[in-house]
Chain A
Amino acid sequence: MTILTADLVPSSRRFDRRWSIPVVLVAWWLVWRFGFGTHNLPNGGPTFIQDWFLRIRNAADAGRDSSPLFIYFFNPIAKTTGSVISSMMSLTTNLGWTGITGIASAISLWVAGWRHGLLTAVGFISFGVLGLEAESMQTLVQIIVAVFLSLLIGIPLGVWAGVSNGFSRVVTPVLDIMQILPTFAYLPLITLFFLIGPASGTIATMIYAIPPAIRLTAAGIREVSTATVEASESLGATKWQRLTDVQLPMAKRTIVLGVNQTMMAALSMITIAALIAAPGLGASVISALIKLDVGAAFNAGLAIVCMAIVFDRVTTAASVRTERASRAGGAASQRTRLLRYGAGIGLIALGVILPGINRSLATFPDRWVHGTRNPVNSVANWTQLHWYGATSWLTTTVTHWLIDPLQSLLSNTPWPVVVLGLALLAYFVGGLRPAIVTAGCLMGAILMGLWPSSMTTLASVLIGALFTMIIGIGFGVWLGRSRMADQLIRPILDAGQVMPPFVYLVPCLALFGATRFTGIVAALVYASPAVIKIVAEGIRSVPANTTESAISSGSNSWQTIVKVQLPMARGMLLVALNQGIIFVLAMVVVGGLVGAGGLGFDVVNGFAQSVFAGTGLAAGLAIVFLGIMLDRITQSAGRSRRTTD
């Protein structure tokens, strides 16, 4: 299809592209200047969809105990998940913090070795030290249930997608869409079916966590060398034998990586699911954010980070180990293995018996609790007091010179001009198909009756993406060119990527208060690591002899970067832009929690007040529309450029 659309574009496109985009922008600006505020959809547009959603919501509420769909489908799912979670929660209470820490450390010790066993113990004790033992356990239980169920569904589907081209073709576009959807977008839909609470939190988490399990399992199966698969076939192995003897064992490492990705996705989602009343650390962050209690939010965020680090390190190490163990080179001797198993069992026994001896040992000792709330709050207060000039200057400057004008351009131009303008831009960037998708998505946003919110969010996303690309290209080029910078910065980026997005809001809130700018900064922080990595990868993939020939013909560093490395990394830069813009959108809507307004606020408000439930559902859909639009435009830009090369 891309080839088709590329053919439809006139052959003088190089000329077109150079002039057409500025022409569209200038024309748009003129319309805005002289037609300011006209035809800009009073009350945000038609509201019948929202009313309709509200009626559906009310009908669902009314039918929750009578409609067979609910009685035989949704309710049992919610009920089973809920009872599994609550029985596991009471189990964790009975085991006490020593039992849980013992079990978790033992498991890490078995799957990932001594060092990671120790790391797990430290991580789990830190929950208590931060004074968040109970909340951490709630989060942990929901993650375990969500990850378990996700893997139960995801791995078999992944195997299926790995061995069957037909199924893979069906499932891949679904996963693509699932991946570009900001997590915020489908929370309203989940509550429609499952109400709010831990069960729906877990189900929402599963939806987010299943795609990586499917993807990586399928990738692992497909990566198995054809020679080996053919060899087993040539010996007369059945399909089942091929799967169990060849494909699964050889894909094990990638599948365990899938477990890692699933866990990280679950952790980031379960904190967001706090918005639909999933208890745990996410709930602590949200209630603190709403009260603008930076210290408490930071404290809970720190616990989330500790949990993320433990999960990430342990599963990564387990994945590397599976590989080594299966290829034997580094398999442990019988004795160390026994020692490990023994030590693990000892840890569990100790952890479980201690509270049995003395019931008071089941709860984390109070005098060990050293939360970070108060010190952080004093740091935050000090910063706000002393840096106020700088941060408020930054906030007002960016808001005044960038956010306000762009938002005004988007929401104060007559809406047909905005739709036409964006569609034309999409056309000149990527061709006919993205232009149609853009127009369709914008009409969708209008239909949702959320035009002003959508434009607020879009303005924030565009500015966030601009900053992200500036930072991403700056650091990416540096990392791509200097091995030392790479070694220095990469661990920070890795750590940044495992953190759930909520955590980023906290320091931004402390510095910039509850504004649109805060959402943008949080988005920038959230999206930068991925963008920097992709840009660095692109710079590094420029062949060394091309760079060398540029230098030997006398280019200085700046010329080498601008004339050789960046143009040659163009494909990767566009991938970075695509990823960056999707990440920014995901975070900007989360910023709705802290005064960034826009669609994110509509979603949150939908949970808070049931009369706005319809608006919340519509806002979720509008986010989906924006996501699809931005994804298609940036992706098609990458493709059409490549075809003209």
Chain B
Amino acid sequence: MNVEPEPAISVRGLWKVFGPHPERIVGSPEAELSRADLREQTGCTAAVRDVNFDVAPGEVFVVMGLSGSGKSTLVRCLTRLVEPTAGQITFEGEDIVAADQARLRELRRHRFSMVFQHFGLLPHRKVIDNVAYGLEVRGMNKADRHARAHEVVELVGLQGYEQAYPDQLSGGMQQRVGLARALAVDPDLLFFDEPFSALDPLIRRGMQDEVLRLHHEVKKTMIFITHDLSEALKLGDRILIMRDGAAVQLGRPDELVGAPADDYVADFTRDVPKSHVLTLRWIARPPVVGEPLDGPELPATTIIRDAIRDVMHATAPVKVMSNGQLLGLVDHEDVLRVIAGEPQPVSV
């Protein structure tokens, strides 16, 4: 195995409790209570409970949960828009929780930026000045920041609208402005707080593709909050599922669908077309005695959907390979069973 790269951001034991004297909750027996019981007994609400994860550089890390699961609070804790109650957030070896206000501002101005659900644009400023706002608060002069803003406006496909005001744009275009504003400061880490949930489904899909394209082009590390599973599966390299403030499962999309950690996640992922998410690894089976082993080879990371044609055309079962080793076989029957939505034999 190759050496794990140092994580872009690392979160350990993160808590956020709202209410009177929240600090007394963490580490006390009450921390074990359910959310409702905790509120009943202490008047406090644990929005984020003991969350741990690392995000690799260049990764798209998705945090998914229903409303009230604490995902938005979690992402706000990472940049301390909301002050965490306990825990460590390490960014390039520096503990963000310990940073003072000046240092925090410095980080926000140069290293982080965020895209918001309701855009948060300044209605009294033109698109170009909205995009340049992050550079303006840094103190960059007007000519420089406009030059940079023009580049970014082009990157998100808003050229021609520089002089428009936010109210004159559609929701999707407003969010492009929000995206451009976040990209303009050339951050190392981009946070997205349900950026597309206020948009129409068609526009939403377009914006998701836009994010994938931008990720491909600028290769930023992204932490993306959503309540939409299909969005999470589409964008996320890895997904963290949250429920009632706690992490339920962390894994690649195929891991969540193929091996849900509990009934909650299973329930969530039940309607996902498995052939669109699972890879051949998940359905490869040991050869049956006498089965022909001269079929075509496919890598284990191939998504089933992409393998359908090959499997159906092959005269013999397809050989699923991983690092040059035979992992197992997949034939017509196996693929059809996935597509028909039959329960899969769990194979981890």
Contacts and interface: CB of A to CB of B under 8 A. Distances in A.
Nearest to B102: A238
A387 to B, nearest CB: 56
Contacts of A227: 116-120
Contacts of A238: 105, 137
A328 B81 contact: no
Interface in A240-272: 241, 245-246, 249-250, 252
A390 B313 CA distance: 104
Given A232-B137, A235-B109, A329 B168 contact: yes
Q: Which secondary structure dominates where chain A touches chain B?
A: helix
Nearest to B124: A326
A546 interface: no
A327 B123 contact: yes
B137 A236 contact: yes
A225 interface: yes
A249 B113 contact: no
B54 interface: no
A246 B123 CA distance: 9
Nearest to A325: B124
Nearest to B112: A234
Given A235-B113, A238-B105, A327-B167, A225 B120 contact: yes
A60 interface: no
B123 A230 contact: no
A234 B168 CA distance: 24
A470 interface: no
The interface centre, meaning the residue of A234, A246, A328 with most chain B CB atoms within 10 A of its CB, is A234
A5 interface: no
The interface centre, meaning the residue of B112, B114, B123, B136 with most chain A CB atoms within 10 A of its CB, is B123
Interface residues of B, number: 35
Interface string B246-275: 000000000000000000000000000000
A548 interface: no
A231 interface: yes
B224 interface: no
Contacts of A228: 120-122
Contacts of B119: 227, 231
B215 interface: no
Contacts of B116: 227, 230-231, 234
Contacts of B138: 236
A234 B113 contact: yes
A235 B181 CA distance: 9
Contacts of B133: 232, 235, 245
A507 B18 CA distance: 59
A229 B119 CA distance: 11
Given A228-B120, A327-B124, A327-B167, A234 B106 contact: no
Contacts of A326: 123-124
Interface in A212-235: 225, 227-235
Interface in B21-49: none
A246 B178 CA distance: 15
Interface in B131-189: 133-134, 136-138, 165, 167-168, 178, 181, 185
The interface centre, meaning the residue of A232, A236, A241, A249 with most chain B CB atoms within 10 A of its CB, is A236
Contacts of B109: 235-236
B94 to A, nearest CB: 16
Nearest to B121: A228
A237 interface: yes
B122 to A, nearest CB: 6
Contacts of B134: 235-236
Contacts of B167: 327-329
Nearest to B108: A236
A250 B138 CA distance: 21
Contact of A250 (B76, B104, B122, B191): B122
B69 interface: no
Contacts of A250: 122-124
A243 to B, nearest CB: 12
Contacts of A327: 123-124, 165, 167
Interface in A318-376: 326-329
B194 to A, nearest CB: 11
Given A234-B112, A326-B123, 5 more contacts: A231-B114, A235-B134, A236-B137, A250-B122, A328-B126
6 contacts: A225-B118, A231-B181, A232-B133, A234-B81, A236-B105, A245-B136
Interface of A: 225, 227-238, 241, 245-246, 249-250, 252, 326-329
Q: 9 closest pairs, A vs B, by CB?
A: A231-B120, A236-B109, A236-B108, A227-B120, A235-B134, A326-B124, A227-B118, A234-B114, A328-B165
